[in-house]
Amino acid sequence: MRKRILAASLVAATCVVQAQTTQTPTASTVVSTLAASAAPRDGFTRLRLSLTSNEVSANETARLAGIALCTTAMCYESGAPSSVTVSSTVNGTSTTVAELEVPYSDIVSVRFKSSAGQGVLQGSIALPEPLKLEKGFKGGDVLVVVQRRGAGYVPVAAASNYVQPEGTSFFYNPKFATTVRLPQGVSLAIPAGATNAPQVFLVGVHDTGDDYPLVDIYPPVPLTKPATVQLPVIARAASATLSNQAPPSPRPQAVPPGGSLASQAQTQAARASGPMSIEINATGTVPRTPRAAQSDKQSSTATTDEALTSDAGTAAAAAAACNQYGWCNCADQLAYPQNQQNIANGLTATGTTYLNWCTTIAPYVHITVTNMADSRERFTVKHSPKVGTSAPPSYLPPRLPLVRITSWSPNTQVMTNGFYWQGDEGTSTGQTGLADGHVHNFATGLGDNLALGGSCQDYPSPPYNACNTFSPHGNKRVMLMPATGTAWSWVDNGAAGVISNSLSYVSSSTSIVKNGVCSTDTTSSRWTAVGNTSGGRLIFMSSTTDGQTSAAELCAVFKAMGVNNAIRMDGGPSAAMAVDGALKNPLGGLYFVKYGTMRYIAYGLKVSYPGW
């Protein structure tokens, strides 16, 4: 279920106190403070105000007579400590002086109440961009830089960003070099003067099952001086899985390409013997795809989910069109005879093979291949038990709880997201939705191409009859899937009898390959896709964290692997793939800000071995 996220990019700029302050609202209201562990009430969100010093001295003591955070029409006031110690940002920290519960609103300025005496912080400052506190986001951070003036202090600059509990916020004042210690042993060093204004950065650090963590730094900001990210090797026990469980299935083989490029693959594998240091010229995803490095041409105020993973990069990074193995074309790499043999060898050992070969070359996807002719493999449409009832007076079918795919992925070789749903957006636990399109799992029907989901039998006579309320989703192709084996088939959605007699099925509004003919759809976003070969191979693809692709691009990759029919699943923040319990493509950018590591979805597509 793809939705637009209407939130401005939060790239800070230095503010001059009087020249850039907004008109002070005449209305004000006192709001409650909010404990760090408390959740805001419905209709409210968290707003945190922090201070940092613009002086060389490590600590400054300032008195606060009162503070207010303001929209264009209203100021939200709170009591403040009588004095606070304000330090510099050399360690990425600041002094939190208020954590408030405020209604959804656009914060545009901060005001400090005037008072007589020594060391008082007073005056007002405008934010470089309004901080848009909207439903679905977890709150906001406001940083104010203060400086001595006369007997007291004044605000001289400000920055803002969103709060995300699954990430780490840190603060940067370009007057000081900053070194930040992040989760999983990651460190980030930014030299002084790397930006032209203070910044509040939000960082996600993720274990994707690879040798090194994946790091995402938001917002995407060009750096005038390079920063350094230090990534440690993730230590793993030989017999343990990421979920800390002992699954009945072997871990999918992760095979390198073969042929004349095998020596490069060995060099790549050897690199994991020690920490890796990466120099970056822009914040964003580290390591990032070459395509993301080209997106500095995109607007920094991205508002559609196609642009939310945008990153600012350099021409040098954009020129890195080949992957670490030396291949520059994903389809060519997959079709290379020795590489096909390596895939077959992986399937012989475990039934499922994971490929990272095309994560750094277009179309920037993770790929898994499963041999469904292998009697050990099992496929299912995974979902949680329905909630609610179709009984009067609602006449609505039961809804599916929205769940993160990693909740379903233990004891699973591979798991991806499914298709769209109607209902809640999937930003937190406790939300629900109705599966859209044709989707069925064994004895459980999840959707019959109705806008409200479910089947016509769930509805009584008019005026509640929704049988003719067809959704445009799911109107192209339906993939009919047995639990195991090779009897997979494809029909158009009009073949209702064929569909209803099938064990499991899933549909999509977009075919990537239909009877060998490629889609011409060039809609670019993060996507998940599924297809199968006549020989019984089931192939999943899902975009990298900052990857962008289209159905037209994916077609060549599917065809290189012998697939004549493939469909696109949900995309944007829904696109996800977990291999052996590890999420390969955690969300980044503004997607991470809103949804965290991954989105909550209605159902997934699961391959397990040998159980369900």
d(CA 491, CA 476): 9
Q: Each residue of 557-576: pLDDT tens digit?
A: 999 999 999 999 999 999 99
Q: Is the pLDDT of residue 158 over 90?
A: yes
> What is the rounded end-to-end Cα distance, in angstroms, of the chain?
26
Q: Each residue of 571-587: pLDDT tens digit?
A: 999 999 999 889 999 99
Percent of the chain whose pLDDT exceeds 70: 76
pLDDT recorded at residue 579? 93
The residue extents of the domains of the chain are: 27-163, 205-318
- In this prediction, residues 31-60 reach a mean pLDDT of 87
Q: Is the pLDDT of residue 530 over 80?
A: yes
Percent of the chain whose pLDDT exceeds 90: 55
Q: Is the pLDDT of residue 301 over 50?
A: no
Q: Each residue of 255-300: pLDDT tens digit?
A: 766 543 433 444 444 445 689 999 999 999 998 766 555 443 333 3
pLDDT recorded at residue 236? 76
Q: State the chain's mean pLDDT as an integer.
A: 81
**Most confident among 17-26, 77-86, 312-321, 499-508 (mean pLDDT):** 77-86
Q: Are 203 and 167 in contact (CB under 8 A)?
A: yes
- The helices-and-strands tally (H runs, E runs) of the chain is 8, 40
**DSSP character at residue 38:** P
Q: Each residue of 352-405: pLDDT tens digit?
A: 999 999 999 999 999 999 999 998 888 999 999 988 755 544 556 678 999 999
Q: Give 286 or 309, the one with higher predicted confidence.
A: 286
pLDDT recorded at residue 302? 31
- In this prediction, residues 84-98 reach a mean pLDDT of 92
Q: Are 340 and 253 in contact (CB under 8 A)?
A: no
Q: Is the pLDDT of residue 251 over 70?
A: no
Looking at 120-129, 376-385, 399-408, 466-475, which range is the least confident one?
466-475
Please give the model's pTM, rounded to 2 decimal places: 0.86
- In this prediction, residues 213-229 reach a mean pLDDT of 96
Which of 471, 502, 509, 465 minimizes the C-alpha distance to 487? 502
Ordered DSSP codes for 387-429: BS---TTT-PPPBEEPB-GGGT-TT-SEEEE---EEE--SSST
pLDDT recorded at residue 410? 78
- Residue 346 in 3-state DSSP? helix
Residue 14: pLDDT band with limits 50, 70, 90: very low
pLDDT recorded at residue 280? 96
pLDDT recorded at residue 24? 63
Residue 443: pLDDT band with limits 50, 70, 90: confident
- In this prediction, residues 93-118 reach a mean pLDDT of 93
Mapping DSSP onto H, E and C, the string for 281-301 reads EECCEECCCHHHHCHHHCCCC
